[in-house]
Amino acid sequence: MRIAIDTGGTFTDCVFVRSGELRILKVLSTPENPARAIEDAISKILSDSPAPPDGALDLTCGTTVGTNALLERRGGRVALVTTAGFEDVLEIGRQARPRLYDFFVERPKPLVPRQWRIGIKERVSAEGRALLHPGKGELNRVVRLVRKGRADAVAVCLLFSFANSEHERQITARLRAAGFSVSASHEIFPEFREYERTVTTVENAYLLPVMSRYLREIDALARSRAKPRRSAKSRVRVMQSSGGIISAATASREPVRTILSGPAGGVLGAQYVAELAGFPHVIAFDMGGTSTDVALIHGALRTTNESEVASLPVSVPMLDIHTVGAGGGSLARFDRGGALRVGPESAGADPGPICYGRGTRPTVTDAHLLLGRIVPEGFLSGEFRLDMERAREWVGRARGPMKSAEEFAQGILDVIETSMEKAIRVISIERGYDPQDYTLVAFGGAGGLHGCGLAAALEIPRVLIPKFPGGLSALGILRADVVKDFSRTVLLAVESRRAASSALQTEFAAMEKLAVKDMRSEGFGQSQTRIERLLDVRYIGQAYELTVSVNGDFVSSFHRAHERRYGYSDAKRAVEIVNVRARAIGVTPKPALPKVPAGDTDASASLRGEHEAHFDGRAMKTRIYDRSRLRAGNRLRGPAIVIEYSATTVVLPGWRARVDAYGNLLMERTR
């Protein structure tokens, strides 16, 4: 049985295949122990499903454990071993100021305090020539200091290990022999830029104790719930931030690669449903209970090595996703100046929104309920009834200067949509992409509530609400391929393309040999592995680079990419290759969304009734439709509310919707 699970701040979403049919399940998250929600979900799935013939369980997880550990500073106690004289790289960082004119800005504290940073006497030149070897006594001294500091894990990052990793390998082997968990930069991020490389290696070590403990618990859970035959084994895999999955064993060693694993699954799911609907260029808008994740897909997924989490650089490949603290559980309040603020704080799963029965502070979900945009008995197919009276009482108490609870609720929605609109502008307009050329794919438990409003504000022509919107991230995780990324800094000037191609062939051959070995440990032979070759290229003298495919004329590809990103290019200017990258892909079986039965334009068969909802400050009679009864070809006009198990969709006045062959809702403006 194949199960994919996406752990969110409020709900844990599961998509699984039962009797050849895709199913979805949502359970409340358990932030204090995320594994418990996964256990609840698996127990429910297996209690209603026949055991698989071989008894094996294939479980793939998207997780926020790493992200939360960084945000909340709940990682392990880390010691850093680095070249003597460079112990303060973590403190110095880059000279870029986060806020240029703020004299009181505070940088985040390093993950490793000064007393736990250990300098070792060694030296390698920038060209990779060993100048000073670390002696046996020096290695023993480092081990003694690490043991004295009682470190949970050790990060090893030497100054020029990207050019020659011999010394780093010696230190790593000595520390591992002494029984320490070690993250080494030549294994995690073998590229230049010492600050980013050091921070990323430290982050990996910082997350090692947390993620390894969590994944051991998940692995034990999968084994206890399944009873496989000797010839079959249960398997646990984890979603990476780059959009591929890896084994739990690999994720335990390299947890920094899982920091944005849940949102990455959402982007994969959005790309899949958009392709089915015939829209290659989309903006993915994933609004959950705690945060909103947005990404732009221009035919292909976009990755970056320049991400930031908790104000710290994370320099491993990640899908280009922008996140803001805006979700269904975002808390509303008035600041000291009387301005209404919404988020980034969230009610989460505990206590949750007021209408869940325990919370007392107004949230976005409570605002939708008061305005009639969520049907109290339509939540989770009636399994979880929302408390309207309780929401009205507590929102009324907190409305401040607002005339009514409804006016306060509308203000909450206006503020949260402004925040999400800014997020979409960051990944589109600010990078030279016009939102009018894209389709907004709105998903997550709350995405369908805001799709029309955001599309109207940004002049996006249409909104696509996929089937299973509340479980699309889990569906993306279920369909993900196994992916391993490899890189190396070369700093190669392209004086002759023939000479450059010859040098590149040598570099790629070495990386691909390692890739084939690693993919074999993931269960894929050489014939089952596809390898993509990429280059980071820049004009000589520039500080940063752009990634292009090595196929074809990569120099011309770089000029075009530079023109697109910065508005100009110079074909006469010399370029250099900074990094070479190889991406190994093992293709997994992919469940497909089935087509839905065809119907005519009349959607009345799915009509559940109507009630009063508020739009633009006016109460309007609003029809309520049951999405499970909608058929391909059905059409409906706003104002309307479409309810289903995993989410609610609002069709605003002045908008219309139709159902396509795969059950997706396509919404467009009528005026």
**Is beta strand 665-669 parallel, antiparallel or unpaired with respect to 462-465?**
antiparallel
Q: How many C-beta neighbours within 10 Å does residue 113 have?
A: 14
Closest to 14 (Cα-Cα) out of 388, 474, 426: 474
- Three-state DSSP class for 622? strand
Please check whether residue 63 is in contact with residue 5, taking contact to mean a CB–CB distance below 8 angstroms: no
So where are the chain's domains? 77-196, 482-586, 604-669
| C-alpha–C-alpha distance, residues 619 and 613, integer Å | 5
pLDDT at 527: 87
CATH class of segment(s) 482-586: alpha beta
- pTM here is 0.90
User: What b-and-e string marks burial along 552-591, b requiring 16 or more CB atoms within 10 Å of the CB?
Assistant: eebbebbbebbeeeeeebeeeeebbbbbbbbbbbbebeeb
pLDDT mean for each 10 residues of the chain (671 residues) = 87 84 87 88 81 73 87 92 96 82 85 96 95 95 96 97 96 97 96 95 96 91 69 81 93 93 92 95 93 91 85 91 90 93 87 91 96 86 85 93 94 96 94 93 95 96 94 94 94 83 90 93 90 95 92 92 90 94 93 91 93 93 95 95 94 96 95 70
CB proximity list for 540: less than 8 A, separation 6 or greater:
493, 573, 574, 575, 576
Angle (CA) 33-36-37 rounded to 5° is 105
| C-alpha–C-alpha distance, residues 368 and 563, integer Å | 44
Rg (CA), the chain: 26
Burial of 368 (0-12, 13-18, 19+ CB in 10 A): buried
**Is beta strand 58-62 parallel, antiparallel or unpaired with respect to 21-28?**
unpaired
CB proximity list for 422: less than 8 A, separation 6 or greater:
324
